[in-house]
Amino acid sequence: MIPEFHYRVRWRAAGAHPGRHASHRTGGGYEFAGHQPFAAFPDPRNIDSHATLNDPFGQLMVKTFRQRSAIPVFVLADLSASMGYADKVQVLAEFTSAAAYSAYRSGDPFGLIVCGETIRWDVSLPLRWHKGGLPADTAANLARIRPDARSAAALEAAVPHLGRGRALVLLVSDFHLDDAFLESLFDALRPHDVVPVAVWSRAEYDALPDWGLIHLRDPETGQRRRLFMRPALKRRFRDVFQARRERLRELAVRHGAREPFLLEDRLDADALTRYFYET
Amino acid sequence: MSFGFVSPWWLLLGAGALLPWLRPGQPAVDYSSLAMMPEDRLSVAIDRGLRALTSLALAALAAGIAGPYALEQWEERLGTGAHIVLLMDRSSSMNENFSGRYLGGTAGESKNAVARRLLADFVRRRGDDLFAMVAFSAAPRYVMPLTQDREAVLAAIDSVGDRGHGITNIAPGLAMALDFFNGRPATGARIILLVSDGATRIEEESQDMIRQWFQDSQSRLYWIYLRSTNSAPLDRPPTGASDDASPEYLLHRYFQSLGVPYTAYEATNPRAVEEAIADIGRLANQPLRYLEKVPRKDLSGWCYGCALILLLPLLAAKSLEVHAW
């Protein structure tokens, strides 16, 4: 079963396509918008007798309503080599299919843009109403992919492909990116509602061995380091990741994104729903 | 100290000592981001230490395979004693005892046995001297070059204990004994200790040569004359006209004419021999500088030992490695 979460945005959509989210558009709905002369909105069903009688010019007045609209939902995925650690790709695939399914269930169009050094169009999806969630072949491709890009530079290049209207952008990454890049990325994404989803694994800090010699290789930079693990060093790892989390939150909030959602090891759809209702 | 290698081409394997600096020897585990992690000094030190250990161990192994050795060499030693050549008579007459008897219940100890026992005592007492040994009868026999090795000298003295035979032919023996000093720096007293129980005439020609050699080498001569009761004392001139009658007397006169310090001890019984040897033992010792040959020594064992010691901590590190978590 595909997990499903409910997302909520705190802004009014601009799209004309009817959907689930509050909108600027006047149209069929239950949200009262105001009174207009009948000439402007010639819909006899909505003639308001009170307003007509109160009108000093004696015009026929109609009630207008705001419709509910669909919003574009994008998953913007980072596929740099660091995402190859542990089973982060599986978590990414799982999250993407959950997001696509949730968008389908909310009646929103869904798009997927996967970025390494360049945009990986072979596993990306254009913005469409995808019936039943993520197409099976995309899901399979995504789960099979082995991240080997040296950077996630294409994330910034993907911003123009998100369209002009405001969209909900789920930025899925492990956020092992340098701060300057993140700042300019958040700035470029400012027109959109950005939810940073940090995919981390406990194996990066909590599950490290207490004692022993480990030899680590950074797949992006090729840097190697041999470490003598001991409880003090493990504690340092934990502290570094905690500090990184704080730093990420500060960066996101300062540059107009939402607070980061931490996806640790596996997707908890209910936690994500709760997150959307809290922020 | 100078070194050499049995098969120096194996030293090229020593280039392998660079390998640990290129590859750490532990399979790397991909990790998401190392840039975040601050430098850990202890880990860096341990990493460098392990690489250095591996490097040194490989170098030691390569050196061990190449087979290093210390070249044979001459080591200068400072001795306080003299160079003493024991010139031992092995003629058949040495088998007799002092009374001229050869066998039988009253024969007692043979002259040879007495001489050997006393010489061995003498050698044992003189700790710092260098000894050489020549035995002679009709022809001289090279037994032992100049050495300080006590064991070897005692064994050499012991080795001349079998039955002697032949006549006493002193000249070639003396020549060989003098030859030991040939080409060696004169760093101390040189003594030729002649032990014999008789003598033969030395030809005029040989006499001159031997005299010349004695003077060249500045050797002293001590003659322990094991006189039997029926042979003539050294200083009594022969009564007969024949030269053959008393060769000992003639030889004594010849030795006195050598121009080098010469002392003769007439020993007519074992006690007298003992006194003669004690007399020589009292001679003043001069400090003595000489060179001794140290044979070439194989050092590859040391290399392998070093490699083993270096590899033990590496084994411990290997057992500490963690490849998955």
Claim to verify: residue B147 and residue B214 sit in the same structural domain:
yes
CATH number at residue B226: 3.40.50.410
Q: Are residues B48 and B188 in the same domain?
A: no
- What mean pLDDT comes out for the span B35-57? 89
> What is the average pLDDT score of chain A?
91
| Backbone angles phi and psi of A130, in degrees to 5 | -95, 115
Minimum-distance CB partner of A213 among B30, B35, B321? B321
- One-letter-per-residue 3-state SS of A120-156: CCCCCEEEECCCCCCCHHHHHHHHHCCCCECCCCHHH
Name chain A contacts of B26, Cβ cutoff 8 Å: 213, 215, 226
Q: Has residue B299 been placed in a domain?
A: yes
B37/A225 CB distance under 8 A: yes
> Which of B23, B29, B31, B37 is most worth mutating to test chain A (most A CB atoms within 10 A of its CB)?
B31
Domains delineated in chain A: 18-69 (no CATH), 73-278 (3.40.50)
Q: Is the pLDDT of residue B106 over 60?
A: no
Q: Are residues B279 and B309 in the same domain?
A: no
Quickly state the pLDDT bin for A248 (edges 50, 70, 90).
very high
Contact B34 A223 (CB under 8 A): yes
Q: Which residue has the higher pLDDT, A220 or A114?
A: A114
Same domain, B161 and B243: yes
> Does residue A45 have a pLDDT over 60?
yes
Is residue B62 domain-shared with residue B98, that is, in the same domain?
no
What's the confidence (pLDDT) of residue B97?
Answer: 74
| Claim to verify: residue B118 and residue B235 sit in the same structural domain | yes
* Cβ-contact B228, B242 below 8 angstroms: no
Residue A13 DSSP class: B
Q: Please, which pLDDT band fits residue A231 given cuts at 50, 70 and 90?
A: very high
Q: Is B26's CB within 8 Å of A203's CB?
A: no
pTM, rounded to two decimals? 0.65
Any chain B CB within 8 A of the CB of A146? no
In a domain, B53, yes or no: yes
| Confidence label for B226 from pLDDT (cuts 50, 70 and 90) | confident
pLDDT, position B187: 65
Instruction: Evaluate if residue B103 carries a pLDDT over 70.
Output: no
Looking at residue B79, what is its pLDDT?
59
Give B102's pLDDT tier (boundaries 50, 70, 90): low
Whether residue B212 is found in the same domain as residue B315: no
* B36 domain residue, yes or no: no
**Is B31 inside any structural domain?**
no
Q: Where are the beta strands (DSSP E) in chain A?
A: 18-37, 61-69, 73-78, 110-115, 125-128, 168-173, 193-200, 212-217, 224-229, 261-264
Q: Does residue B34 lie within any of the structural domains?
A: no
Q: Chain B closest CA to A205's CA: distance in Å?
A: 11
Given a cut of 90, is residue B88 above it in pLDDT? no
Output the pLDDT for position B81.
65
- Residue B3's pLDDT is 82
Q: Residues of chain B with pLDDT > 90: what percent? A: 14
The span from the CA of B252 to the CA of B221, in Å, is 11
Do B165 and B285 share a domain, yes or no? yes
Q: Do B46 and A213 touch (CB under 8 A)?
A: yes
Residues B49, B117, single domain; the answer is no
Domain span at residue B60 reads: 3-26+41-72+295-320
pLDDT of residue B284: 47
Q: Is the pLDDT of residue A187 over 90?
A: yes
Same domain (yes/no): B153, B94? yes
Residues of A in contact with B314 (CB under 8 A): none
- Of A26-40, A186-200, B52-66, B246-260, the poorest mean pLDDT is in B246-260
- Give Cβ neighbours of residue B250 (< 8 Å, ≥ 6 apart): B199, B201, B238, B243
How many inter-chain contacts (A to B, CB under 8 Å) are there?
Answer: 95
Assess whether pLDDT exceeds 60 at residue B286. no
**pLDDT at residue B23, as a whole number:** 83
Residue B57 shares a structural domain with residue B166: no
pLDDT score recorded for residue B1: 61
Question: Tokens representing B216?
Answer: 């060249």
Q: What are phi and psi of A23, to 5 degrees?
A: -140, 160
Number of folded domains that form chain B = 2
* Distances B8 to B62, B69, B300, B301 between C-alpha atoms, Å: 10, 11, 12, 16
Residues B275 and B161 in one domain: yes
Q: Rounded CA gap, B188 and B219, in Å?
A: 10
Mean pLDDT of B44-71: 91
